[in-house]
A and B are shown apart, each in its own frame.
Chain A
Amino acid sequence: MTDSTTSSHYAPGTHPDLPPPRRTTGVVGWVYKNLFSTPLNIVLTLVGVWILYLIVPPLLDWALLESVWTAENRTECWDKMEVAEEAACWAFIKSRLTLFIYGFYPEAERWRVNLSFVLLIFAILPVLYDKLPGRRHWMWYVAAFPFLVGWLLVGGLGLAPVETSEFGGFMLTLVIGVTGISFSLPLGIALALGRTSNLPALRILCVLFIEFIRGVPLIALLFVASTMLNYFLPPGTTFDLLMRVLIMVTLFAAAYIAEVVRGGLQGIPKGQVEAADSLGLSYWKAQRLIILPQALKISIPGIVNTFIGLYKDTTLVLIIGMLDPLGIGRSSLADAQWAGLAREVYLFIAVFFFLCCFGMSRYSLYLERKLHTGHER
């Protein structure tokens, strides 16, 4: 037994494990298994590499290596390049950065936007991470957050008032997106419960509302909000345009959320409701303790999907004359000093939206994994 130079000396079943074949582990193994395992895979890999080779180096050249970061105007920017217009002129974005972020918010009051953003981070944390110490107390702050920030941004009660028409840029996107997301979820859940309720009047109302909103494009609702409404309100009433947009966006998203949540509710076996009934739980207790936690869990991908859609739909406000980042981009591009740098502007905006939406989708994956409690099929 002590002589182990040849395997034949081992008693059956006592041979120590040999290392796995070299081609199946480590980097080599991964590459072999994932990239070159079959002839088809080899071809696909080579084609993929070739496409990347075609795209990535020129893109890097354009966006980073040869780009110009400081210039006074377009001509100067292009003069600094080897071939004019063949590289990105980020100097333009740099000169407009505050405009892209704050819109037309008065310069002296911009600290309020910054503070709101910090407050937003602190409001999101306890919502996203349930392990945060003292989360229960945080939740009071979260509930107060929309009103606190509303006051901060709009002013009044000691702060200089700022017209909402001066909101713009990424700040406007965040205001609409965050408001829409945070108010449409509870409203959507309520609508979903109403639609599945046994009370006919309530059910019909919810169905009518949901189907009306789903049957009309968001842009039509925004038009109604921005232009038609004034015909019906008493002359002289001013009703803030941003507020109208916020309401419309929230209602719109709520109808979609309601349908997503209803899908989740239908995924819960009837036995669960009956079990709750037999325990003597009231309707609300049954929903809160048994039905909704399960229904919402399976609705997460759909809900986040709706949120991402809503967030991107905020760019539609451009059409009713609110200057979101796209609007700021358009009006900046009309500056004769800089006109013609559309690629830079749109890429910059695309990156911002990608980061936001990618973040949301990653969080939803994390949430799904965390709530994965074993009944996944």
Chain B
Amino acid sequence: MKKRTSVAVGALGLALGVAGSAQAATLEDVQARGVLNCVVSTGIAGFAYTDESGEWKGFDVDFCRATAAAVLGDPGAIKAVTSTGKTRFTLLNAGEGDVLWRNTTITFSRDVGVKLRFHGVNYYDGQGFMVRKDLGVSSANDLDGASVCIQTGTTTELNLADYFHANGMKYEAVTIETNDEARQNYTAGRCDVYTTDASGLAATRSTFTDPDNHIILPEIISKEPLGPATRHGDDQWSDIVTWVLNATITAEELGVTSANVDEMKSSNNPEVLRLLGVEGNQGSELGLSADWAYNIIKMVGNYGEIFERNIGVNTPIGLARGLNAQWTDGGLLYSPPFR
């Protein structure tokens, strides 16, 4: 009965249009709860999915686990709050999730308009097109009049409209909700073109019986920096998520892996020692334990390990590092120093 009363109170509040949201310190909430609530996707191959035993796995999920390792010392202490493209920000802003690791493109309107705080990029993506080879198309500029399968509520939808408009072409949109629907529609021939981030195209193509009969066109029509987000108004928590991501990138740059992290504790490199909490007090400045980054690397791994495990060339997704290589290897990954 008490619970029903609160629903009534909530509904009353809604009716009056009172929006009094107060943000408590997320870190304290998470530590008191003992579980990190991560907003993740309902399913994107390689990025978030469930395995046979119901474990959440994937690139984004591993970053969620890394966050949990840093904050709670336990990569298993996560709860996956699944969201579609349309509900992800509402869930985050309503406090259902503490952090969003969900294949989300950083844009101006999301950062400013939706009032999110973005914390760097964990995957550099870009929107591409996939077509059947027998369509005889070799460039995206030949796609005038094509029917295009497109996911709703995503930046790809807007990019597509922009691109076709800018090139004076027309298209017929076949809107779908998930990647799997797109696959079904595309293979059934209900659309000529499937467009989404290039990583998604590669993942989808890898599931075809005849991957060789499909080509991904050379044009990449957008920048899709994917990254984690948190709510406005909690700077400490924002710092934590930022530096969790930076720790995985820095660890790879410094050659610290889950296998050698214990030996690295006696490294000669002072930055490694600061990263692993042997020197300095970066952990306590964040409000975490001294070994927060050690836990991430030991329990989950560095950026390269997370990448190769979930979406790298040896997985069915088979993505090359490309833009997501370290800056020292010609990629864009560039973490600020741990100093």
Contact = CB atoms under 8 A, between A and B. Distances in A.
A342 interface: yes
A84 B41 CA distance: 29
B280 interface: no
A323 interface: yes
Contacts of A318: 42
Interface string B264-293: 000000000000000000000000000000
A256 interface: no
B164 interface: no
Contacts of A241: 96
B46 A332 contact: no
A337 B21 contact: no
A229 B208 contact: no
Interface stretch (A3-11, A231-239, A299-307, A355-363): A231-239
A163 interface: yes
B209 to A, nearest CB: 4
Contacts of A163: 79
Interface string B68-108: 00000000000101111001001101111000000000000
Nearest to B29: A236
Contacts of B183: 339-340, 342
B313 to A, nearest CB: 13
Given A95-B52, A236-B24, A335-B50, A342 B13 contact: no
A40 to B, nearest CB: 36
Contacts of B79: 163, 165
Interface string B179-221: 1110110000000000000000001101111000000000000
A307 to B, nearest CB: 22
A336 B94 contact: no
B131 to A, nearest CB: 18
Name the residue in A78, A96, A321 with the highest tally of chain B Cβ atoms < 10 Å from its Cβ: A321
B44 interface: yes
B109 interface: no
Interface string B39-83: 001111111111111101110000000000000000000010111
B45 to A, nearest CB: 5
Interface stretch (A61-69, A150-158, A220-228, A261-269): A220-228
Given A247-B4, A332-B49, A332-B50, A227 B90 contact: yes
A104 B56 CA distance: 10
Contacts of A168: 54
Interface string A253-274: 0000000000000000000000
A233 B10 contact: yes
A231 B46 CA distance: 33
B18 interface: yes
A226 B96 contact: yes
A339 B207 contact: yes
A235 B22 contact: yes
Contacts of B178: 330
Interface in A97-125: 98-99, 103-104, 107
A195 interface: no
B316 interface: yes
A78 B52 CA distance: 19
A330 B42 contact: yes
B7 interface: yes
Interface in A309-343: 318-323, 327-328, 330-337, 339-340, 342-343
Nearest to B95: A230
A58 B84 CA distance: 35
A339 B18 contact: no
A342 B94 contact: no
A160 interface: no
Given A99-B50, A336-B317, A227 B96 contact: yes
Contacts, number: 148
Interface string A167-193: 010000000000000000000000000
B51 A319 contact: no
Nearest to B203: A336
A243 interface: yes
B19 interface: yes
A297 interface: no
A336 B207 contact: yes
Given A320-B87, A321-B81, A342-B184, A335 B10 contact: no
Contacts of B315: 336
A228 B207 contact: no
Nearest to A229: B10
Contact of A336 (B18, B83, B206): B206
Contacts of A336: 45-46, 49, 203, 206-207, 315-317
B3 interface: yes
A335 B54 CA distance: 11
Nearest to A235: B22
B207 A340 contact: yes
A232 B14 contact: yes
Interface in B1-41: 3-4, 6-7, 9-11, 13-14, 18-24, 29, 41
Contacts of B4: 247
A299 to B, nearest CB: 26
A231 B90 contact: no
Contacts of A343: 184
Contacts of B207: 74, 336, 339-340
A228 B209 contact: no
Contacts of B317: 336
B94 A104 contact: no
B94 A230 contact: yes
Most chain A beta carbons < 10 A, residue from B46, B49, B178: B49
A343 B181 CA distance: 10
5 contacts: A85-B209, A227-B91, A228-B94, A336-B315, A336-B317
Given A168-B54, A334-B42, 13 more contacts: A103-B54, A226-B91, A226-B96, A232-B10, A232-B14, A235-B21, A241-B96, A327-B42, A330-B180, A335-B51, A335-B57, A336-B317, A342-B183
The 9 A-B residue pairs whose C-beta atoms are closest, nearest first, are A334-B43, A232-B13, A334-B49, A340-B207, A336-B316, A227-B94, A331-B43, A84-B209, A339-B207
